[in-house]
Amino acid sequence: MDKDESNVGNCPHCTKIIFRDAVFNSEAMFITRCPHCQKPVKVCIRKKVEIILLPVDDRKGSNNPGTKLTMIIFVLFFPTVIDLLSSSFDILDGLL
């Protein structure tokens, strides 16, 4: 049985569809007959990793489009800001 990306299983003899969008909960192996040509077909079901792509909510007209980017920049450069503040306090302590 040949299986491609569209979850369609074709008969290796007559190439007509046996399974379309079939869902199996576990691994299995069985023999069945093709409903079209009546020849026996060995079916091997294996677990696979499934990637689901969902649409992103891209609403136009948001009030603050740059807020998230600004927060990420602050988070990324936060240790550098702390070092600058601590060195400026050290300089101020040296002047006093």
The count of domains in the chain is 2
Whole-model pTM? 0.41
Question: Is the sign of the CA dihedral 74, 77, 79, 80 positive or negative?
Answer: negative
| Range(s) of the domain holding residue 34 | 2-45
Are 40 and 70 members of one domain? no
Asked, for residue 95, whether it belongs to a domain, the answer is yes
pLDDT tens for the chain, 96 residues long, are 444 455 678 888 888 888 887 777 777 788 888 899 888 888 887 766 555 555 555 555 555 555 554 444 444 444 555 666 677 666 666 665
- Gyration radius of the chain's alpha carbons: 30
Assess whether 7 and 40 both reside in one domain: yes
Sheet architecture: strand order including 17-20 = 2-3, 8-10, 17-20
- Whether the CB-CB separation of 17 and 25 falls below 8 Å is answered with no
Asked if residue 6 is part of any domain, the answer here is: yes
